[in-house]
Every structure is written in C-alpha cells, then in structure tokens.
Amino acid sequence: MVSTPYWTTRCSGMAEPVLMRGWTNPITFSGPPPTIPAEQLALFPRKTLFELPMPEGKDVSAYVQADNGRKYYLKIDKGDKCIRANEWLSHQIAGMVGISTPRCDFIQTNNGDIAFGSESVDGVFNQTETILFLEKYSMIELGSVAPELRAVLSAIHALDLFLNNIDRHMGNFLIAGAGNERQLMALDFARSVFWRWPWD
C-alpha cells in the first residue's frame, strides 16, 4: 500500500497536512454503494450447492444445483481445448443473432474450478421427443418442413458454419414449451470456435 505524501506545516502550534505538488486528495464516498451493472455481476461466478447424478454428454463434467436454486450442466476445459471460451462466445453470439439457447452462468465447483454452466431448462422435451418432433410433428402437407421451423434450423446451421461448430446433431437441440407454443433451442457449442485452431 502506497501512502500519499504530505508536507506538514505548523499553524498556531498545530500540525496541518498539506499535499505535495502534483498530488490530490483521495476521493471519499458516502451513502449507499453504487449499483453494479448486470454485465459486471456476470463476471462473478455462482457457487455449487449440490452435485446431482451425472447426466450423459461427452463434454459435460458435472450436473449441479447452484446457489440461485437453478440446475446447470457444467463444462471445463480439456487439455488444450478451450471449452469454456467456446461455449461462452457461442452463447453470446447466438443471443445477438436471435437464436435461443439455455441461459448460462459461470459456476464455481466444489474443488474451486470455474466452469461454464448451461442451465437445465424446465418444460423441455427429452431427447427422444425432440427427435420425434423434428422428424415428424414439424412436417406439414406433402412432407415439407413448417416454414417457421425451417427458418430457425437454417439460422442455427448458418451460426454453426460461422462458429466452425463440428458437433451439431439431433441430440444438440431442445424443444421447450407445450401445445402450439414451442421453442427450438440450440445447445452444446463445446466443439466450436477454438476446438480446432487454427481453422483449416
């Protein structure tokens, strides 16, 4: 810690501090602390409360409940593979271009690692139902794909090409919602961006 340099002058027998030339008094604050922007809060990780039974997934390292009460699939880097950066960058870009993905956070594990966490979405079809929906219930007359779904699938395909995602398959989609209100979500961007770097 560096102390601010002062000269001392004497006036009426009392020492009075005077700042040296070129120095200013430190700023002091009173009142409540300033509001922290959401973007800055996102830099601080949630904490793991409970580890849950491990789900399937080749790049998933754990399934946990965090201190906000939500459940997350966690991913950490593997060797020279920057999985956390791949996931975070891809989720941010997907949000910017209007492609739905599960919410994400950084989660501190019980051993202190900071993992990328993809939230477990409520009301999501299981993998079998998602594949069935994509292969059958998405069709309209003459076996053509519903226009809304075609547009979303095309957008996800374009994003995967942009991100060099080499791992998009039926298991990496989610259908959320019920009845006529359905939402197609893309997940798992672990094998994109820096997975093969530099790109061919």
Q: What is the pLDDT of residues 102-114, one digit of tens each?
A: 999 999 998 888 8
Q: What is the pLDDT of residues 151-163, one digit of tens each?
A: 888 999 999 999 9
Q: What is the pLDDT of residues 121-168, one digit of tens each?
A: 876 777 777 777 777 656 555 556 666 788 888 999 999 999 999 999
Amino acid sitting at position 153 = L
The C-alpha atoms of residue 129 and residue 59 are separated, in whole angstroms, by: 22
The C-alpha atoms of residue 35 and residue 38 are separated, in whole angstroms, by: 9
Domain ranges of the chain: 43-186
Which helix (H) or strand (E) segment holds residue 21: the answer is none
The residue assigned the tokens 């946990």 is 64
110: its two tokens: 């019980």
Q: What is the pLDDT of residues 53-98, one digit of tens each?
A: 877 767 888 999 999 999 999 999 988 888 999 999 999 999 999 9
Structure confidence at residue 155 (pLDDT): 94
The pTM of the whole model exceeds 0.85: no
